[in-house]
Structures are given as structure tokens and as C-alpha cells.
């Protein structure tokens, strides 16, 4: 197995911001109530000042604070592997590399943004941070960060996962966080849903609404979002910046970069640094491929327009491809990919043709995760297995064409908390889901009526 390692000194000193290099200006966010252009000050009750600044900045390089870099050293730089055993199993002439983010204490890339977000909150005197979590990866990353900087963390966890996946909740509580099942009695948004539907399984959009409402109701509390927004994508670029150096060490350059997309943060964090020079100078770019679940095909089948990140419509209107904030995805096991929208920067690069998207069914994805476990050894998250499946499809296409191809994919996290899903797959109990055009149309109806993006 070939493994490319960097030293601690080689952790990047700056995050890369794609905003100045986009092919068109990023359309403004809109205020959720007035639909006027959102001003940074409108976010002050929700986010710490430094994070707001990072959300809007058009500086290409943003300095990583020394305390954050120091904390990154707990597990960064992360390794880059060449998947030689997988290549042999596939009998492909393609070379496959993967950047492995599963080595962080909470087990995924989400720690890359949890650390700076909690750090900025702590520095600005915020005592308590709220958030949503689906399967629990983001909640556990934030709980981990809270324990390091002595900030209280309150997590609203989607009820379905809360009941079915107790281990992530145990992990959050071990790091000292408090976890409520969403919908909860703690917020108006939660109580309204419970009154209508006492057994509601909840959704990510609703959990965001509860966490936002909680943060808005208390002076000492702010909100933290695990994906989609510019500052989150910015923090995740440590992945791609490291991977670029590691690919240079390998002597190869990727022809195609593949990642899985939930809200788009690990994908963009890996891909944007590989696009930077090409976007800035109009030079050649690698192909950039986004893998998403067929049960939540935001880029493949959503509509580009303004939408809220949450169901109650408390969050700002973001210019993005969306399935509608009322979209309730089927209960696939890649919980981290069940989000109705995607990062505005990623959506813009998809609109401009710089990013391709591909929707995948969960059985083909799990089949690939099992082949990977039996060749490369790691048992990976179902989310990450979408990226893997996309990469394998590329490798098989290279074999069919008898063509040289270098493939890099993002392995966003380990699958040690997903073994019940592997069990279901191995027992032949996993379902594939096909959304009809009618279902998609009905869901798109839940997008708010606004002016078109860019006007």
C-alpha cells in the first residue's frame, strides 16, 4: 500500500476561498422575511462575528488561527493513499487515490470546521452553541470541539436517528453535549410539529429550525451549521490543500476528482483547491464529479433558485440548487447526504458546467463499500461510499476504454457507527428508492416564491 504523509509543519496556514475565482459573482443571500439582500449584521444573532466575516469575504486566502492549526495537529495532516489493492481487484489501468478524513476523533471531515467555529465563538465570549444533526456526525464533531474549548453544546438530533442510532448520541454525551430528539418540546417549531404529528420522525430541515430558534432566543448562544455555507466550505479546504501536496509527492495529477455531496462541504473542500488555478487563469481543470444519492438528488434533479436551509424558513434564502425545504428523503443509510440543498458556491460551479453530478442507489454503493473493506481494509461511511462508487465507475470506464486515468476521491469518514447498515446490506435487506418526476415536482413546490437568482 502506498501512503503519502505530510509533517505537522505542512498543515496549511491559510484556507482557500473560491469566491474571487468563481466564473460569476456569487448571487447575494436574501433576508428570510423581507427577501432583501442579506446584510452581514443580519446574521449577528446567529453566528459569531469572525464567522460572518468569513461567510462574506472575497479574500482568496484566509489565515488559520494558530490555536486552530494547533488543534488540527491532533489528527492532521490526514493520509493520502494509493488504492493499489482496489486497482488490482478492479483489474483497471487507472490509478486510484483517496484522501482519508476518518482519522479525526469524531471520525469524519466535520471536525475541520467544528474546531474553528467553536474557537471563534469561544473567543467572542459565546458560552453555548446549538446545532442540528441527522445521523450524528456533525453533532459529534461539534461536541468534540465544544469539549476542547469549554463551550456548551446543545444538539437537536433528528428523531428517527435518535431512536435508531443511539451510539452517536452516546458519543456526543460522552463529550459533554446535551442531545434532544427533534421535533422537541423545547421550541415553538418543534411543538407545532408534535401537535400535528406526535410520532413525527423529524427531518434535518426541522432540526435546523429548532437549533436556530433556540440560538435566537438566548443572548449567550449562537448557532453552528455543519455544511453548505461559505465559511464551512472554506474551513474544509484544508483537505484539498493537503491532498494537492500529497498528489505532487506521488508524481501523479488527478484527471478526475470525486466526492460525495450532502451539503457539499467535504466535496468542495477537496475539489476547490484543485480548481483554483484553472478558475483563476482560465487554464485546464480536472473533471470534478459529485456523487449524490438517488434518494436525494439535489444537483441532478433539483431546481436552481432561492431556498431556505431549514423547513420553518428562519434561515437566510440561499442561491442554490434545491429539492425544496419541505423535501423528506427516504430513510437511506447515508444520513449525512439527506439534505435538500447544496453549498451556493458548488451550485454555481455546477450551473457553469465545471462540476458534473451523478446520482447513485444505495445497494450499488454498499456493494462497493464491501469490496473496499475486503481490498483496502477500511470500513467506510455510507456517505463516503458514494464517492468511492463514483471513483470505481471512473476506473471501470478507464478499463473499458483501455485508458490511463488518475482518479482522486474523498473518503470523508469511517463507518464504525454504521455497522447496522452494513448488516442490513449483507442480509439483502437494503432498499433502493426511485423518485418519480411527480414526487420531485411536488417537492419543488415547497421552494419559496422569490425573484430568480441573480436579479
Residue ranges in contact with ligand PLP by CB under 6 A:
108, 110, 137-138, 227, 260-267, 336-337, 381, 383-384, 412-413
Q: Which CB atom, from 184 or from 384, has the smaller least distance to ligand PLP?
A: 384
**Of the two residues 43 and 233, which places its CB atom closer to ligand PLP in the complex?**
233
Nearest distance from C-beta of residue 194 to ligand PLP, angstroms: 26
Q: Say if CB 447 and CB 305 are below 8 A apart.
A: yes
- Whichever of 204 and 395 has its CB closer to ligand PLP, that residue is 204
CB nearer to ligand PLP: pick between 94 and 202: 202
Q: Which residue number, 151 or 271, has a Cβ lying nearer to ligand PLP?
A: 271
Tell me the C-alpha to C-alpha distance, in Å, between residue 50 and each of 246, 346, 393: 30, 22, 41
Shortest gap between Cβ of 258 and ligand PLP (angstroms)? Answer: 13
Least distance in angstroms from the C-beta of 165 to ligand PLP: 13
> How near is the Cβ of 438 to ligand PLP at its closest, in Å?
27
User: Smallest gap, in angstroms, from Cβ of residue 80 to ligand PLP?
Assistant: 17
CB of 274 to ligand PLP, least distance (A): 16
Shortest reach from residue 406's CB to ligand PLP, in Å: 23
Q: Closer CB to ligand PLP, residue 82 or residue 333? A: 333
Q: Looking at beta carbons only, is 102 or 319 nearer to ligand PLP?
A: 102
Q: Closest approach of Cβ 27 to ligand PLP, in Å? A: 20
- State in angstroms the smallest separation of the CB of 398 from ligand PLP: 25
* Chain centroid, CA 114 distance in Å: 12
Of 110 and 340, which has the nearer Cβ to ligand PLP?
110
Nearer to ligand PLP, 96 or 229 (CB): 229
Amino acid at each position: 500500500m502506498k501512503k503519502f504523509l505530510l509533517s505537522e509543519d505542512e498543515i496549511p496556514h491559510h484556507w482557500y476561498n473560491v469566491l474571487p475565482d468563481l466564473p460569476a459573482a456569487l448571487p447575494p443571500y436574501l433576508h428570510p422575511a423581507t427577501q432583501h439582500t442579506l446584510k452581514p449584521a443580519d446574521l449577528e444573532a446567529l453566528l459569531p462575528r469572525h464567522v460572518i466575516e468569513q461567510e462574506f469575504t472575497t479574500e482568496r486566502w484566509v489565515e488559520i488561527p494558530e490555536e486552530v492549526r494547533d488543534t488540527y495537529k491532533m489528527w492532521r495532516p490526514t493520509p493520502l493513499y494509493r488504492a493499489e489493492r482496489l486497482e488490482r481487484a478492479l483489474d483497471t489501468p487507472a490509478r486510484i487515490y483517496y484522501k482519508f478524513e476518518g482519522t479525526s476523533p469524531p471520525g469524519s471531515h466535520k471536525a475541520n470546521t467544528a474546531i474553528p467555529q467553536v474557537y471563534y465563538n469561544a473567543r467572542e465570549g459565546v458560552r453555548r452553541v446549538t446545532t442540528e444533526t441527522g445521523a450524528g456526525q456533525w453533532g459529534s464533531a461539534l461536541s468534540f470541539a465544544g469539549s476542547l474549548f469549554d463551550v456548551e453544546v446543545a444538539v437537536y438530533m433528528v428523531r428517527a436517528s435518535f431512536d435508531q442510532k443511539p451510539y452517536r448520541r452516546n458519543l456526543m454525551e460522552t463529550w459533554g453535549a446535551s442531545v434532544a430528539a427533534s421535533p422537541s418540546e423545547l421550541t415553538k417549531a418543534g411543538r407545532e410539529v408534535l401537535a400535528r404529528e406526535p410520532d413525527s420522525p423529524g427531518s434535518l430541515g426541522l432540526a435546523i429550525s429548532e437549533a436556530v430558534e433556540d440560538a435566537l432566543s438566548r443572548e449567550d448562544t449562537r448557532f453552528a451549521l455543519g455544511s453548505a455555507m461559505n465559511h464551512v466550505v472554506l474551513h474544509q479546504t484544508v483537505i484539498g490543500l493537503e491532498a494537492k501536496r500529497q498528489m505532487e509527492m506521488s508524481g501523479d495529477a488527478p484527471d478526475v476528482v470525486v466526492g460525495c455531496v450532502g451539503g457539499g462541504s467535504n466535496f468542495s473542500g477537496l475539489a476547490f483547491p484543485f480548481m483554483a488555478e484553472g478558475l483563476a487563469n482560465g487554464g485546464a481543470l480536472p473533471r470534478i464529479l459529485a456523487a449524490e444519492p438517488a434518494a436525494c438528488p439535489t444537483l441532478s434533479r433539483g431546481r436552481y433558485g432561492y431556498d431556505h436551509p431549514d423547513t420553518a424558513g428562519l434561515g437566510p434564502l440561499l442561491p442554490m440548487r434545491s429539492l425544496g425545504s419541505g423535501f423528506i428523503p427516504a430513510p437511506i443509510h447515508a444520513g449525512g447526504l439527506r439534505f435538500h440543498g447544496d453549498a451556493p458556491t458548488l451550485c454555481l460551479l455546477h450551473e457553469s458546467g465545471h462540476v458534473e453530478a451523478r446520482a447513485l442507489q444505495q445497494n450499488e454503493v454498499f456493494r462497493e463499500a464491501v469490496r473496499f473493506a475486503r481490498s483496502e481494509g477500511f470500513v467506510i461511511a455510507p456517505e463516503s461510499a458514494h464517492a468511492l462508487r463514483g471513483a470505481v465507475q471512473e476506473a471501470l470506464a478507464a478499463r473499458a476504454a483501455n485508458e490511463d486515468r488518475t482518479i482522486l476521491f474523498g473518503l470523508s469518514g469511517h463507518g464504525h457507527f454504521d455497522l447496522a447498515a452494513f448488516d442490513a446490506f449483507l442480509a439483502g435487506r437494503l432498499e433502493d428508492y426511485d423518485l418519480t418526476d411527480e414526487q420531485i415536482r411536488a417537492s419543488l413546490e415547497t421552494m419559496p416564491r422569490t425573484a430568480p437568482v441573480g436579479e
